[in-house]
């Protein structure tokens, strides 16, 4: 157990081993991981730039896009540089305090991303079910308030996580069978009762991601009811088309998240390398796909993107 300082039974460092059973393939796996990470950075920064520089895009839907893009950048950047350092240079050690910070950022900002997706669902609900009141309900002040509430929710609910982990003794090992510091991966290393920590983590997960998902489903039930009450088929398709990119973002974001959450707590027969691989997909793929989805399926962003890329006309 290298790098241990057993004062108060806390290791000075943890050792990340990467993807168990696939250590010989780390270099090969790092190539698509690095490529996806670069695409995520480029896509989300481009989305932020396009929306910021075009005043016509300063509308609720696009402002929520910006919030989600910022959250995606933080999520993937919190984990990927250390992961690539582990894969490329065998840099396995991570300081105890840095590990706790990584736990807090990954979980809290992931809950913020979930909240922003819920806010986008609310925007689509108001736009389709109450179109005449959309601009009066979702003012810039209200949008700012929603964004701040989502950020505070994530910060407050997940701020106990690092303290719960810090108060635990780690007298078994300092080796984490993962590519980054994750709450459940660390709590399994503790040599003390962890029922309170596990219960709190489960409760917070339901009050953030779980509740968000339920509210998103409810909003789309109302949206579909309103759409199918429209007599014109053309108007129905147009209304559904405005929700297409958001539905894709929901599927991309929540599918790996639920798989990772459930397998950590109940999937004892899932091979560790499968779970850890999906956990990395959860941090990488949604940040990469979200700006592509919005760029392809949102006409105004697509037009602005091609306008920037087109050569200047004299």
Please state, in angstroms and rounded to a whole number, the distance separating the CA atoms of residues 128 and 188.
46
Q: C-alpha distances in angstroms, 281 versus 75, 121, 259, 290?
A: 12, 24, 11, 13
Mean pLDDT of the chain: 86
Length of the chain: 314
- Position of tokens 């429209």? 230
pLDDT in tens, 79-131: 999 999 999 999 999 999 999 999 999 999 999 999 999 999 899 899 888 88
Measured N-to-C along each axis, helices 96-129 and 60-89 cross at an angle, to the nearest 10 degrees, of: 150
Q: C-alpha distances in angstroms, 172 versus 8, 62, 184, 212?
A: 13, 49, 16, 37
Please state, in angstroms and rounded to a whole number, the distance separating the CA atoms of residues 224 and 36.
34
Q: How many CA atoms lie within 13 A of 276 on its CB side?
A: 23
Q: What are the domain boundaries of the chain?
A: 13-302
pLDDT in tens, 278-302: 888 888 989 998 888 877 777 788 8
- What is the DSSP code string of 35-58? HHHHHHHHHHHHHHHHHHH-GGG-
pLDDT at 138 > cutoff 60: yes
- The yes or no reply on domain 13-302 and CATH 3.30.460.10 is no
- pLDDT for 265 equals 61
Handedness of CA 53, 130, 117, 295 (dihedral sign): negative
Handedness of CA 158, 17, 85, 252 (dihedral sign): negative
**Residue 106, helix vs strand vs coil:** helix
Assigned token pair, 256? 């790996």
- pLDDT for 1 equals 44
Q: What is the 8-class DSSP label of residue 226? A: H
- pLDDT for 66 equals 93
Give me the mean pLDDT over the 64-79 stretch.
Answer: 94
pLDDT in tens, 240-279: 776 777 777 788 888 777 777 676 666 567 788 888 888 8
Please state, in angstroms and rounded to a whole number, the distance separating the CA atoms of residues 309 and 140.
29
Under the banding of pLDDT at 50, 70 and 90, the label for residue 74 is very high
């Amino acid at each position: 157990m290298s790098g241990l300082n057993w004062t108060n039974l806390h290791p000075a460092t943890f050792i990340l081993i990467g993807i168990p059973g696939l250590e010989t393939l780390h270099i090969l796996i790092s190539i698509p991981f690095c490529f996806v990470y670069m695409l995520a950075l480029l896509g989300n920064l481009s989305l932020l730039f396009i929306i910021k520089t075009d005043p016509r895009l300063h509308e609720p839907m696009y402002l929520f896009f910006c919030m989600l893009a910022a959250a995606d950048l933080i999520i993937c950047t919190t984990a990927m540089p250390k992961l690539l350092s582990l894969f490329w240079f065998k840099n396995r050690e991570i300081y105890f305090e840095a590990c706790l910070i990584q736990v807090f950022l990954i979980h809290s900002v992931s809950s913020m991303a979930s909240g922003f997706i819920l806010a986008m669902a609310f925007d689509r609900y108001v736009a389709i079910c109450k179109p005449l009141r959309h601009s009066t309900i979702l003012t810039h002040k209200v949008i700012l308030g929603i964004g701040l509430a989502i950020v505070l929710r994530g910060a407050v609910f997940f701020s106990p996580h690092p303290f719960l982990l810090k108060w635990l003794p780690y007298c078994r090992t300092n080796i984490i069978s993962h590519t980054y510091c994750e709450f459940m991966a660390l709590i399994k290393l503790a040599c003390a009762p962890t029922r309170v920590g596990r219960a709190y983590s489960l409760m917070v997960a339901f009050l953030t991601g779980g509740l968000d998902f339920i509210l998103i489903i409810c909003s789309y039930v109302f949206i579909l009811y309103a759409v199918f009450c429209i007599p014109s088929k053309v108007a129905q398709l147009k209304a559904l088309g405005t929700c297409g990119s958001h539905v894709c973002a929901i599927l991309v974001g929540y599918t790996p998240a639920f798989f990772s959450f459930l397998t950590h707590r109940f999937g004892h027969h899932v091979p560790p390398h499968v779970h850890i691989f999906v956990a990395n997909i959860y941090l990488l793929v949604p940040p990469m796909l979200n700006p592509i989805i919005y760029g392809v399926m949102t006409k105004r962003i697509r037009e602005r993107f091609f306008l920037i890329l087109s050569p200047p006309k004299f």
